[in-house]
Amino acid sequence: MKYRAYFHPRKFLFFITLLSISISPANAQDSLINYDEAKMPPYTLPDPLQLLNGTHISTSKAWMKEQRPRMLQLFADNVYGRIPGKPKELHFAVKTIDSFALNGTAVRKEITIFFTNASGPSMEALLYLPKSSAMPVPVFMGLNFYGNQTVSKDPGIDLSERWAPNDEEKHIDNNKATDASRGTDESRWPVEEIIKRGYGLMTAYYGDLEPDYPGGWKTGIRTSMKSALAINEQEWSAMSAWAWGLSRMMDYLETDRAVDAKKVVITGHSRLGKAALWAGANDTRFAIVVSNNSGEGGAALSRRWYGETIKIINTSFPHWFITKYKQYNESPQLLPVDQHILLALMAPRPLYVASAAADKWADPKGEFLSAKNAEPVYALFGKKGLGVSELPPVDHPVGETIKYHIRNGKHDITLYDWKQYLDFADIQFEKMKPKKSR
């Protein structure tokens, strides 16, 4: 049972509390878990606009040409590992189409994304599109935790056959999904609401790319695609493997005439929010990037000693990041980057960061400050950020091109969160429309 708790996406906090964390007198940040702002040691964030020679960039052109590539490389070298490119033999097979899904309001497609030949590594994607639209539609996209069948009770969705963490609540037994698992995560995927608002939804099970446990790389794409992608399994991480899969989903969307591929919103919750941010940083085809409760290694500042830390996350989930990231377990201040720079890599594209008041482990204030400190880069493009200097009250979203909210409740993605993201997408995509000449 301890083994199962270790790999349970929703119960990892319970296991964390059982960890024996070594005490380092030289660094109090590693000695215990802190939830007291008064005990926060001072820290200095790296300046995203400062070049190696000490000078500062002052234009968006300089950011895109000089600083952005260097910052992206620093994250690849120190945190996530690099993401390989598109495989030469990538192709798609639409397995099923239901034109009367969700009581006739939607079209449901199931697509196999083949990374090599027809019998090689692949992932299974689920796509819902509004049936009533005569025009290509924008799409929200993200990975799910337990298989596509958990997203909806729709009986036409194929049951995932991949390894999954045992979970009594989700009806995952002997590491396999059962028919009873259908719709068990539907609260996190309000498909009907998304369709009603005129958006499509695409999702895939992250375990199709790499099972989420330390040895998962042995059966995931870091092994099966090693030769095809010409990359060693240690050069990237599970987080990069999941991010790579999101880009392959985007590859498919560019081929579907019912989709407006210029208006794809990438989103993710918790660890999959980290993956969404890393995918969004590397793949600028994503028009809007959304991070929901992504915490340490995601939107939260790593230098803050609050909730989960680099050391804790690397101890609990050693496969999520590359080996070099562990060198900063005791000294996060030595990292040449911090997560505000990861958020800045989305510029000038719209970015939404969200937290939950009861999710102290993910450090809501650290997520807010990260978004706040990404503002100088967005300002180079003439884009406005949060517009406030203090953490806003719960359930009061703030910001413009960078937006943030902290809602009541626990670590989760809720209908409230989705409504904010849909509203945000409405506004941002309206701005993208070409202005009519007078």
Dihedral angle of Cα 149, 238, 139, 95, to the nearest 10 degrees: -50
For 27-60, b/e burial (b = at least 16 CB within 10 A) is: bebbeebbeeeeeeeeeebbebbeeeeeeebeeb
Dihedral angle of Cα 16, 17, 18, 24, to the nearest 10 degrees: 90
Nearest to 296 by CA among 374, 363, 371: 363
Residue 2 is encoded by which pair of tokens?
């301890």
Residue that the structure tokens 């099923």 belong to = 96
Active-site hit among 270, 302, 355, 370: 270
CB 88 within 8 A of CB 81: no
Q: Are strands 200-205 and 122-130 parallel, antiparallel or unpaired?
A: antiparallel
| Backbone torsion region of residue 151, taken as left when φ is above 0, otherwise alpha when ψ lies between -120 and 50, otherwise beta | alpha
Q: Are strands 259-269 and 137-144 parallel, antiparallel or unpaired?
A: parallel
Dihedral angle of Cα 326, 329, 333, 334, to the nearest 10 degrees: -40
Distance between CA atoms of 80 and 55, rounded to whole angstroms?
A: 27
Nearest to 140 by CA among 276, 294, 281, 338: 276
What type of residue sits at position 76? A
Residue 259 is encoded by which pair of tokens?
């989709």
Instruction: Give CA 31 to chain center in angstroms.
Output: 29
Residue 120 is encoded by which pair of tokens?
């090689």
Alpha helices in 17-154 (DSSP H): 60-62, 68-75, 101-104
Task: Note if 181 is an active site residue.
Answer: no
| Backbone torsion region of residue 401, taken as left when φ is above 0, otherwise alpha when ψ lies between -120 and 50, otherwise beta | alpha
Upstream peptide bond of 121 is cis (omega within 30 degrees of 0): no
Instruction: Give CA 373 to chain center in angstroms.
Output: 19
Task: Note if 411 is an active site residue.
Answer: yes
Distance between CA atoms of 120 and 89, rounded to whole angstroms?
A: 10
Active site residues: 270, 411
